[in-house]
Each structure stands twice: as structure tokens, then as C-alpha cells.
């Protein structure tokens, strides 16, 4: 399956990445650039130990970084080794995001016009393949929008089951292109305090989709909808709470506030009572003590919460 966007072709392919006749293939490497199991082991077996030897001369590298080597006996011309983990074999979705970014940046620096990715981190790393594919698609979409992507990008899945899961990424990319093409995109976020005069708690939801972490309830404004209608709807959909005594806090518009694309949010502050119940794309919803917020808060939502606290105390 193939999507074309701004002159770049993105293809979702079932097959053996080591057999592809493309300019460059990506190896999901460890940061020591030792080629043992998984995709790395297959590349070494079929392409030759000289690929590992050449890579080792350029390592170790930081997790999230990438280096380029020749491809030995493989049909491809190059192998790009992206360090998705250390020697403990641990990885996460943020590292996958960094690896995709570094690979695409390397392609632009080296003049590589064609690159094939496996599902980074979904093998030895143990990450969910569907979520990995979504993260990769987000970074590819962003690179294409910013004119820093090669002309052809392949996402390669070895088994039929993996390919079927990967096709959810194809649908997601089509959605990004067709529904969120122009940007910047307007969103709303709801700061929900237990008490407006002297707040002690705030409602947060745990995101099920990347970027991960806890976040304020909120989302995109629908066509024909006011921001006030949107924030009430999003809060209800994500927590089943009714927003009360709410007012606009301010607009947050840093172009880098959202890792996926440029969003501008209208933040509100208000109150609600009762126990939040997670819905839509929220994995969990709960009250947090303002003095014991979780360490991983998505986007700029910690800043929004602090701004709301200062406003209420000011």
C-alpha cells in the first residue's frame, strides 16, 4: 500500500527487509553496534560480518542516534544503524521517535533518497507494533511537512500478522494527511480543579496513544464548533465529568508544544465534582494532588496547570 504526500511516497510492505533492492535499509541496533538477534542478526548473516565490523568502528553511539555503513552482500547499498536500545535491550516509544528522526536527518545529510524501516523496537525491544508504527508515522509525516524527508520511505513488516497490524499505521497516515493537513491545528485543554478559590487537586487522563504520559482532558476543535463547546465535549468524552464555572485561561501557541505537529490550544480553567471515568482515547482518569503530580506529563500541560494555579491565587 502506498501514500503520496508532497512528492514523497510512503509504502507499507510485507516482506524481508534484507531482500529489498533499495538504497538504504534501517537496522534496529543497540548502541554498541553489535549485531546479534532480530533484524540485526539477519542483516549480518545475509550481508556479511563486514557490516558489523564497519559499524563497530563508528561506535558506540548515543541511544537514538544513527550511523551509516555499506551493506555488504545485501541488495541494498547502505545500512543505517539506529540505536534503539542499550545492551540491556530496553527501549521505549520516545527512543523510537528519536531514531526515526535521526535516520531521516541522516538521509538528508547523505543524499539518500530511498530508505526502508522495520518496526523499530517491536522485536527484541518488545514494544507494541501498532503503537510503534503510529510513532514512526508521526515522525515521517512531520518530516515530510518540513521538507526533510527522502523521496521514498518504506515500512516493512515480516509476517502477515505484523503487516495487518502495520496497516493501521497506513490508515493513520491517511487520516493525518486528509484531516490535519494545513495546520496549525486548534485544540482545547481543560484544567479541572476541585475548588477554584483554593485548588488542591486537578484531573488528568492517561494517554493511550503517543505521545504518552498524563495530560489535561482536551482535544481538537471540530468543524462548526466553538472552543467552549469543544472543551465541554472533550472533558465529558474523556472523563464523564461536567465542566462548571469555567473560563478561558489563555492561549498556548509554542510551535513545539506538540511533538506530532503544530497545535495551538485554548486552555480553560474550571471545576467539577465526582470521580472521573476514563473514556474515548484516555486509558485512565483520576484526581491528582497538585503537590504530587506525575513525573511524565505530556505536551506543555504542566506549564498550563501552573499558569492556572497562579491565576487562581492572583
Q: What domains lie within the chain, and their CATH numbers?
A: 2-179 (3.40.220.10), 185-313 (3.90.79.10)
Contact present, 252 and 218 (Cβ < 8 Å) = no
What is the mean pLDDT of the segment spanning 65-85? 97
Residue 179 is predicted with a pLDDT of 67
Residue 312 is predicted with a pLDDT of 62
Q: What is the 3-state secondary structure (H, E, C) of the chain?
A: CEEEECCEEEEEEECCHHHCCCCEEEEEEECCCCCCCHHHHHHHHHHCHHHHHHHHHCCCCCCCCEEEEECCCCCCCEEEEEEEECCCCCCCHHHHHHHHHHHHHHHHHHCCCEEEECCCCCCCCCCCHHHHHHHHHHHHHHHHHCCCCCCEEEEEECCHHHHHHHHHHHHHHHHHHHHCCCCCEEEEEEEEECCCCCCCEEEEEEECCCCCCEECCEEECCCCCCHHHHHHHHHHHHHCCCCEEEEEEEEECCCCCCCCCCEEEEEEEEECCCCCCCCCCEEEEEEEECCCCCCCECCCHHHHHHHHHHHHHC
pLDDT, tens digit, for every residue of 220-255? 999 889 999 999 999 999 999 999 999 999 999 999
Kindly state the cell numbers that stand for 309. 494555579
Residues with catalytic function: 284
Average pLDDT, the chain: 93
pLDDT, tens digit, for every residue of 164-211? 999 999 999 998 888 666 678 899 999 999 999 999 999 999 998 888
Residue 178 is predicted with a pLDDT of 80
pLDDT, tens digit, for every residue of 252-298? 999 999 988 889 999 999 999 899 999 867 789 999 999 999 999 99
Amino acid at each position: 500500500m502506498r501514500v503520496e504526500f508532497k512528492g514523497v511516497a510512503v509504502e507499507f510492505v510485507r516482506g524481508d527487509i534484507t531482500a529489498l533492492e533499495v538504497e538504504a535499509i534501517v537496522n534496529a541496533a543497540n548502541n554498541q553496534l553489535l549485531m546479534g538477534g532480530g533484524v540485526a542478526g539477519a542483516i549480518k548473516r545475509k550481508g556479511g560480518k563486514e557490516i558489523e565490523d564497519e559499524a563497530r568502528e563508528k561506535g558506540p553511539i548515543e541511544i537514538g542516534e544513527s550511523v551509516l555503513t555499506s551493506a555488504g552482500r545485501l541488495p541494498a547499498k547502505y545500512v543505517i544503524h539506529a540505536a534503539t536500545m542499550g545492551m540491556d535491550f530496553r527501549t521505549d516509544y520516545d527512543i523510537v521517535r528519536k531514531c526515526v528522526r535521526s535516520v531521516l536527518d541522516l538521509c538528508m545529510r547523505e543524499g539518500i533518497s530511498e530508505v526502508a524501516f522495520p518496526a523499530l523496537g517491536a522485536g527484541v525491544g518488545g514494544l507494541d507494533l501498532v503503537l510503534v508504527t503510529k510513532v514512526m508515522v508521526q515522525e515521517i509525516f512531520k518530516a515530510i511537512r518540513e521538507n526533510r524527508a527522502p523521496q521514498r520511505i518504506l515500512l516493512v513488516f515480516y509476517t502477515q500478522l505484523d503487516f495487518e497490524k502495520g496497516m493501521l499505521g497506513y490508515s493513520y497516515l491517511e487520516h493525518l494527511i486528509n484531516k490535519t493537513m494545513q495546520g496549525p491545528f486548534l485544540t482545547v485543554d481543560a484544567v479541572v480543579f476541585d475548588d477554584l478559590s483554593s485548588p488542591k487537586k486537578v484531573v488528568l487522563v492517561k494517554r493511550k496513544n503517543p505521545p504518552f504520559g498524563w495530560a489535561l482532558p482536551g482535544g481538537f476543535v471540530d468543524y462548526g464548533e466553538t472552543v467552549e463547546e469543544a472543551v465541554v465535549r472533550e472533558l465529558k468524552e474523556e472523563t464523564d465529568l461536567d465542566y462548571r464555572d469555567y473560563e478561558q485561561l489563555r492561549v498556548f501557541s509554542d510551535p513545539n508544544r506538540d511533538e506530532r505537529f503544530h497545535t495551538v490550544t485554548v486552555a480553560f480553567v474550571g471545576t467539577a465534582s465526582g470521580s472521573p471515568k476514563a473514556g474515548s482515547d484516555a486509558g485512565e482518569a483520576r484526581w491528582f494532588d497538585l503537590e504530587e503530580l506525575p513525573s511524565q506529563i505530556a505536551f506543555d500541560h504542566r506549564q498550563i496547570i501552573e499558569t492556572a494555579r497562579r491565576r487562581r491565587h492572583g
